């Protein structure tokens, strides 16, 4: 069998399980966000700030994806958020079968918003659907404003881009306008949020967007 046929079979099988995951999540009325970013961009910090901002309105659950360790999962658990750790053992992304297994370990009837923290990578994760409702990426200020040109695939695929670590903008060579222009040129429909998980800047607007997304999704419950 040719390599391209093998890859097609793998992706087809993944998509089928992703659809099953989506149906499970929809049956429980859970809005699911696939959160993707480079290592160190602030995925876990954004999750924790999101939980604080939505406390009392949405009940969060988290699936943590890492190559190894459970450091981030322990931080989430310490905040009182239901969390399941997936260690991929070297794989650069999560896939639908991994998520299916993780869902069995979560109290789905007690969750309104599920955030899947994908493995830190800007290439592989976007190729694998998980059964999510929304795909979101974080582009942190220290990474520079030219990221969309280097990784166009992920920037064109997401529903929202969170520009994190805005508090560092005065101290690095970073052009916010250029980043906005690049994102808009590739993905005009994407929402863009400027935030700092350290200072809290912009977290409220991001949380309100998630609340609105859940409100629109809620009739499926």
DSSP letters along the chain, please? Answer: --HHHHHHHHHHHHHHHHHHHHHHHHHTT-EEEEEEE-TTS-HHHHHHHHHHHTTTT--EEEEEEESS--HHHHHHHHTT--EEEEE-TT-SS--HHHHHHHHTTS-GGG-SEEEEE--S-SSSGGGS--S-SEEEEEEEGGG-TTHHHH-HHHHHH-SEEEEE-GGGGGGSS--HHHHHHHHHHH-TT-EEEE--TTT-TTHHHHHHHHHHHHHHHGGG-
pLDDT of 93 over the 80 cut: yes
**Residue range 13-47, pLDDT digits in tens:** 999 999 999 999 999 999 999 999 999 999 999 99
* pLDDT tens by residue, 121-149: 999 999 999 999 999 999 999 999 999 99
pLDDT at 4 over 50: no
Task: Give the CATH number of the domain where residue 39 resides.
Answer: 3.40.50.300
221 pLDDT more than 50: no
Number of domains into which the chain is organized: 1
- What is the residue range of 65's domain? 3-220
Task: Give the pLDDT band of residue 68 (cuts 50, 70, 90).
Answer: confident
């Amino acid at each position: 069998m040719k390599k391209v046929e093998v890859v097609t079979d793998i992706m087809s099988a993944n998509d089928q399980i992703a659809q099953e995951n989506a149906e499970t999540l929809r049956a429980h009325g859970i809005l699911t966000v696939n959160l993707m970013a480079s290592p160190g961009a602030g995925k876990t910090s954004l999750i924790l700030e999101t939980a604080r901002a939505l406390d009392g309105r949405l009940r969060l659950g988290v699936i943590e994806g890492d190559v190894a360790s459970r450091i981030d999962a322990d931080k989430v658990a310490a905040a009182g958020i239901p969390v399941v750790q997936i260690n991929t053992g070297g794989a650069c992304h999560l896939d639908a079968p991994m998520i299916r297994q993780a869902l069995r370990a979560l109290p789905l009837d007690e969750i309104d918003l599920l955030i899947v923290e994908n493995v830190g990578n800007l290439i592989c994760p976007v190729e694998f659907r998980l059964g999510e409702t929304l795909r979101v990426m974080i582009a942190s200020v220290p990474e520079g404003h030219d990221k969309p040109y280097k990784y166009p695939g992920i920037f064109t695929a997401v529903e929202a881009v969170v520009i994190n670590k805005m508090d560092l903008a005065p101290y690095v060579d970073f052009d916010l306008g250029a980043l906005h222009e690049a994102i808009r040129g590739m993905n005009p429909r994407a929402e863009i949020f400027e935030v700092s998980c350290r200072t809290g800047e912009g977290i409220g607007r991001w949380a309100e967007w998630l609340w609105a997304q859940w409100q629109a999704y809620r009739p499926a419950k």
